[in-house]
Amino acid sequence: MIKVENLVKRYGANYALNDVSFEIGEGEVVGLLGPNGAGKSTTMNILTGFLAATSGTATIGGVDIREDPIAAKRMIGYLPEQPPLYPDMTVEEYLNFVYELKGCTLERGPHLAEIMSVVKLTDVRGRLIRNLSKGYKQRVGIAQALIGDPKVVIFDEPTVGLDPKQILEVRNLIRALSKNHTVILSTHILAEVQSVCQRVLIINRGRLIADKHTDELARSLEDSVIYRAKIAGPEREVTNALRAMHGMKSVTATAEKEADATVYLLEGARGFDIRKPLFRLLAGANYPLLELAPTGTDLESIFIRLVERSDAADAPSVRK
Ligand code: ADP
């Protein structure tokens, strides 16, 4: 349904997106996850035709967004983080307005009635938007995205600023929509991805660092315990000593530093407890071990680990 190939977006010398490729099949619900500044909005803005890529291609339902933006846009409903609502219109007036704006050709009355019923706005159809609660305003935003019955619906941080009850309602609504639509959900909230999405694309610094099924992501790292160790001493020498240690599978220096100490992520070989040999190695080499703790295997820790690994891979100081 969506195919993105080698997408690059450059601002001067900075890459907001750097060679990103992925595919999303019909009916999939995919989370786009990443820290602030990762490139999520850039990706969505290119997919929705608001922004042109520097290079690479994006197609929706086989239609290249650059070649035929109107046809491609027709297949997409978009809920921006701040939907452009008109507070002085009633819900129904606003949806009629969007219907006109999109040049929708579906039979108006039944189409709008169905959307209002799906997002549960029927009871407030005559109310001014300005008088609606934040949760209801968000439903109006979702309703406008659904006008024209797009095959793909893209949500940008749809639950920001809502109370817990409203958050559950919006998540349930997205889950319900996923039965008939391909959904992309951009968020920095892991619980949201876990509760709504089958698959997750993780972006960090403009690069795609993971593309996995939500449970596969958690499972993939379950077997290995990874320790976070804060160790004093010159980073290059400490890294080399750690890498040479028997039973050590991987060593990653993170960007987290304190005076002469660096935080490392240490992964032992399967079934090998690295703690005692690590202590002996560091004591012998006079690199004081300041902290040592296992990282969790919940989605949050996995996410942090993936992001830190990709940050470390980008940092020139640890490049060989
Ligand atoms: P996210 O949505 O994941 O928070 P964005 O896609 O908004 O991230 O931004 C990705 C990167 O591109 C950021 O480093 C941001 O500073 C940069 N960026 C975004 N828009 C512009 C712009 N108009 N000019 C220069 N840099 C930009």
**Residue of the nearest CA to atom 27 in ligand 1?**
11
Return the ligand 1 atom nearest residue 43 CA: 6
Cα→Cα distances 110→117, 148, 152, Å: 10, 12, 21
**Residue of the nearest CA to atom 26 in ligand 1?**
11
204 lines ligand 1 (CB under 6 A): no
CB contact burial 85-103 (16+ within 10 A = b; e otherwise): beeebbbbebbeebbeeee
> Hey, what are 192's tokens?
């949201």
Return the ligand 1 atom nearest residue 39 CA: 6
* Contact between residue 39 and residue 206 where contact means Cβ atoms under 8 Å apart: yes
Instruction: Note the pLDDT tens digit of each residue in 61-120.
Output: 999 999 998 899 899 999 998 888 999 999 999 999 999 999 999 999 999 999 999 999
- 42 Cα to the center of ligand 1, angstroms: 7
Which pLDDT value is given to residue 316? 56
- 195 Cα to the center of ligand 1, angstroms: 27
Return the ligand 1 atom nearest residue 206 CA: 10
Which pLDDT value is given to residue 82? 85
* Contact between residue 218 and residue 297 where contact means Cβ atoms under 8 Å apart: yes
Which pLDDT value is given to residue 319? 37
- 63 Cα to the center of ligand 1, angstroms: 26
- 9 Cα to the center of ligand 1, angstroms: 9
Low-confidence ranges of the chain (pLDDT < 70): 218-224, 296-301, 314-320
Which pLDDT value is given to residue 220? 61
